[in-house]
Structure 1
Amino acid sequence: MTKAILTTILFLTLSQLGFSQTNFDKAKLDSYFQALEQNDKFMGSVAVSKDGEMLYTKSIGYADVENNVEATEETKYRIGSITKTFTAVLVMKAVEEKMLNLSQTINKWFPSIANSSKITLEHLLGHRSGIHNFTDDEEYLTYNTQSKTEQELVGIITNGGSDFEPDSKAEYSNSNFVLLSYILEKTFEKPYSELVQEHIVEPIGLTDTYVFRNLDIANNEAKSYKFLNTWKVEPETDASIPLGAGAITSTPIDLTRFADALFTGKLVTPESLEIMKIIKDVYGKGLFQFPFYENIGYGHTGGIDGFSSVYTYFPESKVSYALTSNGTHINNNDISVAVLNAMYNKPYEIPSFKSYSLTTEDLDPYLGVYASSQIPIKITITKEGATLIAQGTGQPAFPLEATEKDTFKFDQAGAKFEFNPSENAMILFQGGGQILFSKE
């Protein structure tokens, strides 16, 4: 469950080369993470396994910066939208037990929602319902840290209306999986948290995975952070808000075990898994596709507050990879590619980070509200100390890193911002495209 103006989906594209279980250069990979840690680029953990055997784990940074609590393999992170795979598994288990049917419509549970008599469970799972994504609303950040009842959240989702006719296209919406959470609770007559424990965690022996409540540092749970010249703690989204769209806490080791179990028939039947893997307009059912090594991997990304995560399973090579972070100042995809390049004995570089220093006064010419005729989003540029801050309409703010005069970047989304103060203009470069903004 993530809210960001700029988002990326992990794609790992490597040429064919055999997987190395024992011969990879562990020292070099350790040095790679040391470079990230020394330059405040990343805090978190990664894990890689093959055939269920753990091959590499690494944790850097702090679970609790303020109290100097270092991250370890046991540190638990909120995994955001990776939760959606867990929810999809629960739905498929209910279908297997003939408690639910993917073709049934949701008006039985939510008659007030627009098009509820046309929207099926399958539409919810594949983001094809048309139900507006409530986390995109500007008001979302005014209440996301507060507890909400089912009635309140269904009311918010209902008021959001419909963005398109059901099954006419696909568009990511956290609303879909929040509603699926409530359907599961009504179907099994148990809270979502108990369903995760009873049907997933306990059967496959996960030890550090559960639906989170209030942050518990004593239980090895990490705080999340944003980097603004230093790591600054982020507010906590209340678990009642994301629920089955993003309310699970876990570790990379547990996520690789979850992936292994899912793809080896320990959680759902092969028929159910095949249904989950069917991709239509980018989305499966709780899964994305990740091309890798002439094979296709499956998994999901996640983000909530300052946490970010990804897990991927490659059926042909039986490799599982997971990353969880409580603070990142770099594109996590770069880290994922480096780790898997190392495991496959492919070349990769240990990054050398160069900084371009600016004073707080140097940032003043860039400040203001920028609008574009190309997209309906305005970007407000402010500053905090000597750090430039960008914020899209209704979105959380994110820091920009100066790379040279008038040029800044946001590595987490692979974005570059070029300012022209004399013309009151800004150009956003991302994904091979560019968008021109003018200061209002």
Structure 2
Amino acid sequence: MEGFNMWKRLLSFILTITLIFGMTVTTFAASGDINIFVNGKEISNDAYVNEEGKVMVPLRQRAEELGYIVTWDNVEKRVTISNEYNTIHLKIGESSVIKNDKNINMDTKSIIKDGKTFVPIELFSNTLNLILGLDDKHQVLNINQFTNNQEEFFKVSNDTEMTAKLNEYMKALEKNENFHGSILIAKEGSILLNEGYGFANFDQNTLNKTQTKFAIGSVTKQFTAMAIMQLSEKGLIDVNDSLSKYLPDFPNGDLITIHNLLTHSSGLVNFTELMEFYTLSSNNQTPMDILNLVKDKPLIFKPGEKFSYNNTNYLILGMLVEQLSNMSYEDYLQENIFNPINMNNTGISYGKNNGLHDATAYSGYLEVVPIDDEVLLRGAYGAGNMYSTTEDLYRWSEALKTEKLVNKDTMNQIFKEHIDMEGVGSYGYGWMIIDSEVGKIILHGGNTLGFTSSISRVVDLDLTIIVLSNVGYYDTTTLVNTLTSIALGGVHELPEALTEIEIKDADLYDKYIGEYELAPEVICTITREGNRIFAQLTGQEKFEIFPCTEDDFFYKIVDAKITFVKDDGGNVTNLVLHQMGQEISAIKIK
């Protein structure tokens, strides 16, 4: 949601891929001591990593900590773990377990080591139905039980047919397009869909759940805006104040107002578009270190002149929250927003409370690779440093219908259409407001290198859709539109798998070789290597594309397709790039 015309989206796509593959992308493998936390309490570091890279933990200790009774059959070499709901049998040396008479297969066998039974962590995720979060880089394993949702608005909808349709679509998306994440859809105060899909960690075979924590990127902005407006109600700040009132030495601070920051109309340079930001040390940087990268650069436009989405604005607003409240940004949100509305699974990524998301960050599409997202999550601050769950974000959405956090007049200011977003809609304070065929929609998306988020509410129909995914720059716009249509009874098609076909005459590729102009100074270069064909956009690495018809090709590393267009004589004249809901034609120039 951060680009609002064709070229802006295309250039954003180019920048994103460049950043991801220009950084060190490492397949992390846990090694050494792994610090284990069960329900938030640090337990031990007695896990280890086997030769296949699977994290193994001692079964008896972890199961008993979770309230299970563990028994050992020395004759059969079989372990039984049970509570009032489940009975699980597993045999040493086998990769399958029996849960309530149902067989469940795992990727890894249980073993005895140093007199203890060790099992892969996938057993806790997939058999015991616990929430698993593994941070390989920091050697932390979180194991959490589900918490009960006590609020009335978490009641399950009676429309089971609609729930089945929504789940059928998501299951097809999971199977055929490798979707992994969590989805919550609610209508008129009851839940239509609340499910996790795909893997939280592909290497460990652990699953996403309804209470899995994801980094939420720019969805953070609405919380920062709420904090500012709470401080405004207390008389500590006025949206019409100039920035220089709070940062006296800030260049152009007399021209930029708090309102400009809230509405992305400051004219400041966006720090996440500067490559030097990604070279900062993630351990020692402060908000001021990042602000120093941009504060002395000339304004892009006169403050208030127009809308231009910009993370620098909300970096500064987060700093002002700290300055005015005499609290850390993290403590302020916890005390004044999270706690009052029971957002107990929400926090600041890599903050002082050592909060971590559960899902592993990935980049890709049909093929994914783990990505180190720490520099962005630490550096985004008030612009995008939070993690949360779909259920907690639903609590947030429902609270916005009340006066639990601010009064009605302030809420109206937050959702007022303050500035036009280039004809697509308007921006309020931390929210986008769009008039659509189904009525007014308030929404916001978030993208990081390894996570994507979206929260959307059709106001008049009281329809809320929350999407969290542990893959960066996922096309949530198309997904939310489709889920909205399904929830409102619209016609839809199930996602189908992209099937690669065999091109028997690889010389056909020679017709496609050349350069195609997508935009000024943006070239798509098509090359051939033997029986393989590659596409390379300006500033990117080259990526292989795969044929699904003779003229249609798809990427596996990103959700994009290329169609080659021929004239009546069979000569290729241009290509069409399909990506992020856009179709961009490029003329062959060489």
Q: Common fold, TM-score beyond 0.5?
A: yes
Q: List per-residue Cα deviations over 1:293-318 (Å, max 9, x = no partner).
A: 64212121111112111111233233
8 Å Cα contact 2:414/2:430 also seen in 1: yes
2: CA distance, partners of 1:277 / 1:271: 10
- Residue 254 (structure 1) aligned to one of 386, 389, 392: 392
1:126 and 2:270 correspond: no
1:264 and 2:414 correspond: no
What secondary structure is seen at the aligned counterpart in 2 of 1:213? coil
Q: List per-residue Cα deviations over 1:40-61 (Å, max 9, x = no partner).
A: 4310011022354333212110
2: CA distance, partners of 1:156 / 1:243: 15
1: CA distance, partners of 2:479 / 2:244: 43
**Aligned Cα RMSD in Å?**
3.9
1:404 match: 549
What secondary structure is seen at the aligned counterpart in 2 of 1:100? coil
8 Å Cα contact 2:452/2:474 also seen in 1: no
- Residue 284 (structure 1) aligned to one of 425, 428, 436: 428
Cα gap change, 1:22/1:379 in structure 2, threshold over 3 Å: closer, same or farther? same
Q: List per-residue Cα deviations over 1:250-286 (Å, max 9, x = no partner).
A: 1111111101101322222111111111222122210
1: CA distance, partners of 2:489 / 2:282: 44
2: CA distance, partners of 1:165 / 1:261: 36
1:15 match: none
Q: Please report how far the alpha carbon of residue 29 of structure 1 lies from its aligned counterpart in structure 2 after TM superposition.
A: 2.5
8 Å Cα contact 1:113/1:157 also seen in 2: no
Q: Please report how far the alpha carbon of residue 352 of structure 1 lies from its aligned counterpart in structure 2 after TM superposition.
A: 1.9
Give the counterpart letter for 1:79 in structure 2. Answer: I
1:436 and 2:580 correspond: no
Give the counterpart letter for 1:167 in structure 2. Answer: G
1: CA distance, partners of 2:240 / 2:267: 16
Q: Which runs of 5+ in 1 are unaligned?
A: 9-19
- Residue 182 (structure 1) aligned to one of 310, 315, 319: 319
- Compare relative contact order (CA 8 Å, sep 6+) and give the higher one, 1 or 2: 1
Structure with larger Rg: 2
TM-score, scaled to structure 2? 0.63
Q: Please report how far the alpha carbon of residue 218 of structure 1 lies from its aligned counterpart in structure 2 after TM superposition.
A: 11
8 Å Cα contact 1:228/1:387 also seen in 2: no
Q: Which stretch shifts more, 223-232 or 423-432? A: 423-432
2: CA distance, partners of 1:28 / 1:121: 45
8 Å Cα contact 2:526/2:535 also seen in 1: yes
1:168 match: 305
1: CA distance, partners of 2:198 / 2:431: 29
1:106 and 2:243 correspond: yes
2: CA distance, partners of 1:52 / 1:105: 41
Percent identity of equivalent pairs: 26
- Residue 48 (structure 1) aligned to one of 185, 204, 222: 185
Cα gap change, 1:433/1:39 in structure 2, threshold over 3 Å: closer, same or farther? closer
8 Å Cα contact 1:147/1:240 also seen in 2: no
8 Å Cα contact 2:356/2:387 also seen in 1: no
2: CA distance, partners of 1:399 / 1:273: 49
1:305 and 2:449 correspond: yes
2:175 match: 38
Q: Which stretch shifts more, 112-121 or 379-388? A: 379-388
- Residue 341 (structure 1) aligned to one of 479, 485, 491: 485
Q: Matches of residues 355-370 of structure 1 in structure 2 within 5 Å? A: 355-357=499-501
2: CA distance, partners of 1:330 / 1:76: 17
Q: List per-residue Cα deviations over 1:313-341 (Å, max 9, x = no partner).
A: 23323332211011279732333233333
8 Å Cα contact 2:451/2:473 also seen in 1: no
Give the counterpart letter for 1:41 in structure 2. Answer: N
1: CA distance, partners of 2:494 / 2:574: 35
Give the counterpart letter for 1:278 in structure 2. Answer: K
2: CA distance, partners of 1:363 / 1:73: 47
Q: Please report how far the alpha carbon of residue 419 of structure 1 lies from its aligned counterpart in structure 2 after TM superposition.
A: 5.2
What secondary structure is seen at the aligned counterpart in 2 of 1:156? coil
8 Å Cα contact 2:576/2:583 also seen in 1: no
2: CA distance, partners of 1:205 / 1:269: 19
Q: Please report how far the alpha carbon of residue 411 of structure 1 lies from its aligned counterpart in structure 2 after TM superposition.
A: 11
Cα gap change, 1:151/1:331 in structure 2, threshold over 3 Å: closer, same or farther? closer
What secondary structure is seen at the aligned counterpart in 1 of 2:272? helix
Give the counterpart letter for 1:28 in structure 2. Answer: K
1:417 match: 562
2: CA distance, partners of 1:423 / 1:180: 51
Q: List per-residue Cα deviations over 1:376-423 (Å, max 9, x = no partner).
A: 556677999979565564x89998665434544579998653458987
1:295 match: 439
- Residue 227 (structure 1) aligned to one of 344, 347, 364: 364
Cα gap change, 1:168/1:2 in structure 2, threshold over 3 Å: closer, same or farther? closer
Cα gap change, 1:419/1:145 in structure 2, threshold over 3 Å: closer, same or farther? farther
Q: Matches of residues 369-384 of structure 1 in structure 2 within 5 Å? A: 374-375=519-520, 377=522
Cα gap change, 1:111/1:218 in structure 2, threshold over 3 Å: closer, same or farther? closer
1:316 match: 460
Give the counterpart letter for 1:404 in structure 2. Answer: T
Q: Which runs of 5+ in 2 are unaligned?
A: 4-8, 14-156, 422-426
What secondary structure is seen at the aligned counterpart in 2 of 1:24? helix
2:40 match: none
- Residue 470 (structure 2) aligned to one of 326, 337, 348: 326
2: CA distance, partners of 1:56 / 1:167: 41
Q: How many aligned positions are there?
A: 425
1:17 match: none
TM-score, scaled to structure 1? 0.82
Q: Which stretch shifts more, 122-131 or 415-424? A: 415-424
2: CA distance, partners of 1:208 / 1:383: 49
2: CA distance, partners of 1:397 / 1:177: 34
2: CA distance, partners of 1:416 / 1:233: 23
Cα gap change, 1:340/1:257 in structure 2, threshold over 3 Å: closer, same or farther? same
Q: Please report how far the alpha carbon of residue 370 of structure 1 lies from its aligned counterpart in structure 2 after TM superposition.
A: 6.4
Give the counterpart letter for 1:417 in structure 2. Answer: I
2: CA distance, partners of 1:352 / 1:225: 22
1:11 match: none
What secondary structure is seen at the aligned counterpart in 1 of 2:224? helix
What secondary structure is seen at the aligned counterpart in 1 of 2:394? helix
2: CA distance, partners of 1:146 / 1:420: 49
2: CA distance, partners of 1:433 / 1:147: 42
Cα gap change, 1:29/1:52 in structure 2, threshold over 3 Å: closer, same or farther? closer
2: CA distance, partners of 1:347 / 1:371: 36
Cα gap change, 1:383/1:5 in structure 2, threshold over 3 Å: closer, same or farther? farther
2: CA distance, partners of 1:220 / 1:271: 34
1:61 and 2:198 correspond: yes
Q: Please report how far the alpha carbon of residue 140 of structure 1 lies from its aligned counterpart in structure 2 after TM superposition.
A: 3.9
